[in-house]
Structure 1
């Protein structure tokens, strides 16, 4: 290889463990559904860091096909920042627009997971439905948080396996959310029905300007 950026399997294990433990500390999984959500996220991280520090399968596959068109697409560590090649970024790959956006999404995802957990934990102690904080805008902020973290990593270091995995994981989270909603609906009845009718599942609505606030 051109440098020693790959074959670093201890880094694969260390980074995977670090981000999994980081997510656990924010998410606090308890139920089987929670652990399935964590498992999907963990599988994504294993695929990601295996290519980031272990074996760059995507670079090998694309390099033989697009190498002459994108000279930066090489088996160096910088070559893994594939979006930079597409826009012709010549500077530090860690300061590219894609990389900076990934920091915002990853940080925002973890913040959303943590903020939602605090509201959910308090609601569970009070025996009420979580409807404040992030839950005032979307019904499944913690799943959104995981998806934001994954999108952030895709902007930072896209690979063929993770690009294939992402839509599958979206479907998994959709199914987990629907299963969760069926249980909550049985427990809270009309309270849940009213809340679900006015609060979107994953994508917050734009607040409409009231008639009185218009100039």
Structure 2
């Protein structure tokens, strides 16, 4: 195993792990607002993702340990600060910076989309209607898209073995949850919601509509 003593100052900060997990979890439950058991199951998976991510970010580099100890991969210094893709693919420090910026962009877009979707849903619940304006005028499930983008951004920025395993499971759970919600909305609103489904894609904008989606976030 490669000597990790040079990186000891970066890890072992379990107090930071606890603080950041609490803050990020609060944002999750505040803006994802799970209701039924299906939504709670999705939120639980994201909670596990959050704990696994920050435990490796500031606590103990489990993924680095496994890769170096069991696979014998000799990783450069920047791998130990989260830049695993650049290390494994040989992109170097420039690639490490690129993946950090790219991952951060996905995370920011995902969080903003989650909050914007929550605001629209909160207003609609008070007015007893379904939302079809703002980001909902571009995609049917902006909150779930926001969650997927934010989680994907973390995979780009700071991949770990556990979060890589959890990511496809999270996507699958939210795809199933979206389908279930759509059946409930059709049952409640009938042909009006069916027409909306035919006009608006489920998770990702049609080609050329990404700018329009971003424009709705500033409204």
TM-score (structure 2 length as normaliser):
0.83
Secondary structure at 2:43 match in 1: helix
Which of 39, 50, 54 is equivalent to 1:49? Answer: 54
Deviation string 1:157-177 (CA, Å, 9 cap, x unpaired) is 101111111001111111111
Measured in 2, the distance between the counterparts of 1:157 and 1:36 equals 24
Structure 1 consecutive aligned stretches of length 4 or more whose deviation exceeds 4 Å: none
CA contact (8 A) 2:45 2:166 kept: no
TM-score (structure 1 length as normaliser):
0.85
Measured in 1, the distance between the counterparts of 2:76 and 2:112 equals 37
Question: RMSD in angstroms over aligned alpha carbons?
Answer: 2.2
Which of 25, 28, 45 is equivalent to 2:30? Answer: 25
Which of 65, 73, 82 is equivalent to 1:67? Answer: 73
Matched residue, 2:92: 89
Secondary structure at 1:4 match in 2: helix
* Larger relative helix fraction: 2
Unaligned runs of 5+ in 1: 209-215
Q: Aligned-pair distance for 1:185?
A: 1.0
Measured in 1, the distance between the counterparts of 2:112 and 2:78 equals 33
Measured in 2, the distance between the counterparts of 1:56 and 1:176 equals 33
Q: Aligned-pair distance for 1:34?
A: 3.8
Q: Which moved more, 1:188-197 or 1:32-41?
A: 32-41
Q: Aligned-pair distance for 1:92?
A: 10
Unaligned runs of 5+ in 2: 210-219
Q: Which moved more, 1:134-143 or 1:5-14?
A: 5-14
